[in-house]
Structure 1
Amino acid sequence: MEAPEIRILSAGTALPGDPLDNAGLARHFGMDPLWEQWVDAFVGTRARHLSVDLATRQLRYSLADLATSAAARALDGAGVGAADVDLVVFGTATPDQLMPATVNVVADRLGINGVPTYQLQSGCAGAFQALEVGGRMLQACGLRTALVIGGELCSRHYDPGVDLAKLDSQELVNFVLFGDGAGAAVLTTEPAPGTPVVRRVLNRLTGLGRPPGQVVEWTGALDRDTANRAHIKEDYKAIEESVPKMSREIADELLGDLGWGPSDVDYLLPPQLSGRMTRRIVDALEMPVAEEVTRVDTIANTGNAMPFFQLEETLPQLADGDRVLAVSVESSKWIKAGFALEMA
């Protein structure tokens, strides 16, 4: 007996507060206008949403807050109630705490109980991993509906009082690249005309012997005061060199598996590192008729939330026969990720 098809019924997202543009970021950190111009020109990200109020240093929204809002929107869009959810999977690199798992806090707030829940600790591949785990669990266990979630609270790792002029580039770049947000999607094995089928999901570790491109520390009572240890470090040069090439490899593999050509892709959901990097990646992928779905320029890199922002924009536009290709690279230990959808 063939496994049932996995369809995406809906997607929902949530952002904290108002957007903070580069001028506002520059004013807070006392950077001169040339720095703001550098961010605009060489990073290409114009704004981001932060859960932390930089002026008061207070956390206004938790990851659970954002994820609950996004998941509620996705469930509402699918016409699915809490009692109909058979499985919840959450991918994040920045949970609110080690225990309880954020996925269980979100499930509790939504009124979901008595079902399997999974939290996947992962960077930008986590949303793709959640999609794969959710779909495979539905097929293997004979379940009907899964809620998959992705989100990040990157601003918790900022020091709002730091002197940016004293940071090295591996730390400085994170203040302009990342924003906070959450997203969710509802998967089903039920027939659902007018919704896309998940044709392929790719998740593959390829970092054997390679140093990580990004490190995010988690500190405990014994080491939280360790001097001179950055909470977040980013080898942006390695990322800039590797991600476009890896993106092309991901796209080629997915298209080859499906027998699709570059001209068969109607919507492209590229990696959302920064505005400038996304432009380079899209050019390298060479998909002549695909409509690019990009949000990074206005909400920054939201990690595992971003694929859901892209899906939320794409799903209402899909017509019969349309094909969607999504690509992501996790640079922490070099994971290739992607998925392919088809309206059928």
Structure 2
Amino acid sequence: MTYAAITGWGMYVPERVLTNADLEKMVDTSDEWIVTRTGIRERRIAAPHETTGSMGALAAQQALERAGLGSQDVDLLVVATSTPDQLMPSAACVVQTAIGATRAGPMDVNAACSGFVYALAIGAQFIQGGASRTALVVGVDTLSRFLNYQDRNTCILFGDGAGAVVLQATSQPTGVLALDLGAIPGTGELLEIPGGGAAHPATPETVANNLHYMTMQGREVFKYAVRAMGDSSAKVIADAGLLPEDIALVIPHQANLRIIEATAKRLDLPMEKFCVNIDRYGNTSSASIPIALCEAHAEGRLRPGDAVVVTAFGGGLTWGSALLKWGA
């Protein structure tokens, strides 16, 4: 049997830091209000010259270097994003050009904040099915450009960033061992950017009505997120033939500290087993899991043989989880 092992990882976050104190000057909020409700203290904001494509390329290149590979070794490139530089070409084509991965088949996947897990699943399935030997999976978003900085329900939450992993074929039972993906029909309006697509193409009216900004019904999203992330994580653990106590580390999507704490409680696992960096980056959407994975490795929290759960929830409303056996 062929498995998809993670052999490289990389991340990029912009230099500019937007603190809660900065937001206090822009919108009716306070540091205490934001920290209490979300756990966020600051987030990174892309510079004018930075884009989803450019940030994704930097994370991708770092992941390749970590794996000891060149861009010509990649035969599949999957980019998870809900904020591509433009509707076409795809963000994956932009990243492909930037890093020179001329042999790679590039594609985008949009599952909002769950996107990285979906892209990971695609890469792993291509490898397990024999269609790919080396897949580059990127999660990247530039949501700061789709935020209304007069809406404190959304502008306090999100930041920009990119993360990437390299998947390679191996005969060893390591890497991606179990997957669970899904969505809740009829919940799309709870978290959306309604303007800019075929339903509401850009017009003076859509711009005037703020349809190109993100909107969110936070309380409803919170309830769905806790249930879905907890249940989905439990499923991949069981599908891998493990128990919750066998899990060395959980790398959850960094949406809200209270969601992470509630997920830990639902799984009956201590918070010490959860990666948390939302205080420094906010919600970076599809980039949050690979960024946290990179930091977990740098902190010595990933050891060979560890059973690791990654789990996410996002607009759609979508969810996704994976059980990984760390082998690097």
Please give the TM-score of this superposition, normalised by the length of structure 1: 0.86
Alpha-carbon spacing, 1:307–1:130, altered in 2? closer, same or farther (3 Å)? same
Whether the 8 Å contact between 1:270 and 1:282 is mirrored in structure 2 is no
> C-alpha distance in 1, partners of 2:271/2:46?
37
> C-alpha distance in 2, partners of 1:317/1:41?
27
SS in 2 for 1:174: coil
> C-alpha distance in 1, partners of 2:288/2:60?
14
What stretches of structure 2 of length at least 5 have no aligned partner?
A: none
Is 2:151 aligned against 1:188? no
Is 2:313 aligned against 1:342? no
Is 2:238 aligned against 1:256? yes
One of 173, 194, 203 as aligned partner of 1:222: 203
Q: CA deviation at 1:129?
A: 1.0
> C-alpha distance in 2, partners of 1:153/1:139?
31
Identity %: 26
> C-alpha distance in 2, partners of 1:141/1:259?
24
> C-alpha distance in 2, partners of 1:253/1:299?
28
Q: 1:326 corresponds to which residue?
A: 310
Q: CA deviation at 1:196?
A: 4.7
Q: 1:200 corresponds to which residue?
A: 178
Whether the 8 Å contact between 1:271 and 1:281 is mirrored in structure 2 is no
What stretches of structure 1 of length at least 5 have no aligned partner?
A: 53-58, 165-170
Q: CA deviation at 1:233?
A: 0.7
> C-alpha distance in 2, partners of 1:115/1:314?
28
Higher Cα radius of gyration: 1
SS in 1 for 2:250: strand
Is 2:292 aligned against 1:310? yes
> 4+ runs of 1 displaced by more than 4 Å?
223-226
One of 121, 124, 134 as aligned partner of 1:145: 134
Q: 2:42 corresponds to which residue?
A: 47
> C-alpha distance in 1, partners of 2:246/2:222?
27
- Residue type of the alignment partner of 1:265: I
One of 6, 9, 13 as aligned partner of 2:4: 6
Whether the 8 Å contact between 2:20 and 2:30 is mirrored in structure 1 is no
- Residue correspondence of structure 1 range 31-180 to structure 2 within 5 A: 31=28, 35-52=30-47, 59-159=48-148, 164=150, 171-180=151-160
- Residue type of the alignment partner of 1:215: E
How many residues are aligned here? 320
> C-alpha distance in 2, partners of 1:114/1:44?
42
> C-alpha distance in 1, partners of 2:168/2:231?
29
Whether the 8 Å contact between 1:148 and 1:185 is mirrored in structure 2 is yes
> C-alpha distance in 2, partners of 1:289/1:226?
42
Whether the 8 Å contact between 1:269 and 1:293 is mirrored in structure 2 is yes
> C-alpha distance in 1, partners of 2:206/2:224?
34
CA RMSD of aligned residues (A): 2.2
Whether the 8 Å contact between 2:192 and 2:216 is mirrored in structure 1 is yes
